[in-house]
């Protein structure tokens, strides 16, 4: 009789190519799950080299690094990194999406007690070969074990035929949001948060909804300098991501923010902010 792990492997194997080429939210979620499975059964180095885009970035101490160049230089260690999505959002055009959920890191064995845990935030894009590839990845740390994942919260943007803006306009909006954050002007950034928005930050499980996010962002240290660096829009121009740096008391960190255009306005639907 085949074990459950063997059956799960066969399911992933038979669905791998369709999932990676599906411009649907199921394809996006499956790509994330395959990334997690491959990494946990191989090494962190092999996983990121397999699933990151050639232009994909990771973040370290305020700087972004090309993920492939970074991991090619790393030794393949014994640590086991595993994760599972509990949130996913995709553009109406199906070419860019984002996922988030809990992760754990174990030192040597899958039976070990986790020595690290938190929440990941990943942005994905379909490449020219029709494969989902990870464009940006940033995690937050939290020692609290998350609740069991029952299902994935899915947000699929509708096809409206509206082109709301350009990448430059999205970057200007991101700068406005950041200025409001660093100046503690809650009324200026709150209109860009909705009841299904999510915020990942160190030391806590994700904040969801306007009240939890407002409470969390009020804890950001005064005097923080937040700088927008770059971003990208989907071909439908209804989903984009931005990222940049945060400086406070000489310490540099990063943020990664996912925007959606819904009901004729931009919403920061998913953020990881480290301070």
pLDDT for residue 7 is more than 60: no
pLDDT for residue 132 is more than 70: yes
pLDDT for residue 80 is more than 60: yes
Q: Is 161 domain-assigned? A: no
Q: Taking residues 119-134, what's their average pLDDT?
A: 96
Tally of domains in the chain: 2
Q: Is 239 domain-assigned? A: yes
Q: Taking residues 217-241, what's their average pLDDT?
A: 96
Judge if 132 and 171 occupy the same domain: no
Q: Is 191 domain-assigned? A: yes
The burial class, CB within 10 Å (0-12 / 13-18 / 19+), for 165 is: middle
Judge if 175 and 152 occupy the same domain: no
Judge if 83 and 120 occupy the same domain: yes
Judge if 132 and 199 occupy the same domain: no
Q: Taking residues 231-242, what's their average pLDDT?
A: 97
Tens of pLDDT, residues 173-207: 999 999 999 999 999 999 999 999 999 999 999 99
What's the pLDDT band for 21 if we cut at 50, 70, 90? low
What's the pLDDT band for 130 if we cut at 50, 70, 90? very high
pTM score? 0.92
Judge if 195 and 71 occupy the same domain: no
Point out the domain boundary residue: 102, 136, 156. 156
Judge if 178 and 103 occupy the same domain: no
What's the pLDDT band for 165 if we cut at 50, 70, 90? confident
Q: Taking residues 64-72, what's their average pLDDT?
A: 97
Q: Is 115 domain-assigned? A: yes
Residue 161: per-residue pLDDT = 81
Judge if 16 and 141 occupy the same domain: yes
pLDDT for residue 19 is more than 70: no
Residue 111: per-residue pLDDT = 83
Q: Is 215 domain-assigned? A: yes
Q: Pick the residue with more confidence: 50 or 2?
A: 50
Point out the domain boundary residue: 135, 156, 177. 156
What's the pLDDT band for 20 if we cut at 50, 70, 90? very low
Judge if 89 and 59 occupy the same domain: yes
Q: Is 256 domain-assigned? A: yes
Which structural domain range is residue 21 located in? 4-156
- Helices 4-21 and 25-41: crossing angle in degrees, nearest 10, is 130
Judge if 64 and 130 occupy the same domain: yes
Q: Taking residues 214-243, what's their average pLDDT?
A: 96
Q: Is 39 domain-assigned? A: yes
Judge if 77 and 148 occupy the same domain: yes
Residue 271: per-residue pLDDT = 98
Q: Is 120 domain-assigned? A: yes
What is the CATH classification number for the domain harbouring 28? 3.10.450.50
Q: Pick the residue with more confidence: 20 or 165?
A: 165
Judge if 243 and 263 occupy the same domain: yes
Tens of pLDDT, residues 89-105: 999 999 999 999 999 99
Judge if 182 and 130 occupy the same domain: no
Residue 3: per-residue pLDDT = 41
Point out the domain boundary residue: 90, 123, 156. 156
Tens of pLDDT, residues 143-152: 999 999 999 9
């Amino acid at each position: 009789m085949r074990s459950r792990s063997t059956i799960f492997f066969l399911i992933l194997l038979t669905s791998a190519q369709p999932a990676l080429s599906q411009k649907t939210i199921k394809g996006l979620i499956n790509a994330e799950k395959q990334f997690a499975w491959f990494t946990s059964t191989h090494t962190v180095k092999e996983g990121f080299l397999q699933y990151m885009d050639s232009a994909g970035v990771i973040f370290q101490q305020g700087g972004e690094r090309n993920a492939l160049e970074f991991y090619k230089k790393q030794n393949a260690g014994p640590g086991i990194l595993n994760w599972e999505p509990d949130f996913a959002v995709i553009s109406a055009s199906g070419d860019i999406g984002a996922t988030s959920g809990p992760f754990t890191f174990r030192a040597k064995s899958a039976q070990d007690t986790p020595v690290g845990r938190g929440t990941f935030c990943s942005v994905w894009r379909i490449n020219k070969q029709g494969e989902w590839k990870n464009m940006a990845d940033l995690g937050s740390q939290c020692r609290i074990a998350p609740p069991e994942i029952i299902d994935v919260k899915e947000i699929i943007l509708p096809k409206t035929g509206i082109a709301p803006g350009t990448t430059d306009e999205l970057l200007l909006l991101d700068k406005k949001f950041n200025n409001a954050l660093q100046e503690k002007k809650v009324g200026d950034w709150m209109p860009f948060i909705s009841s299904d928005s999510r915020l990942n930050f160190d030391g806590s499980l994700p904040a969801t909804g306007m009240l939890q996010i407002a409470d969390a962002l009020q804890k950001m240290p005064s005097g923080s300098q937040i700088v927008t660096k770059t971003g990208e829009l989907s071909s439908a121009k209804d989903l984009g991501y931005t990222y940049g740096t945060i400086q406070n008391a000489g310490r540099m960190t990063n943020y990664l923010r996912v925007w959606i255009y819904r009901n004729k306005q931009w919403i920061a639907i998913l953020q990881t902010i480290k301070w």
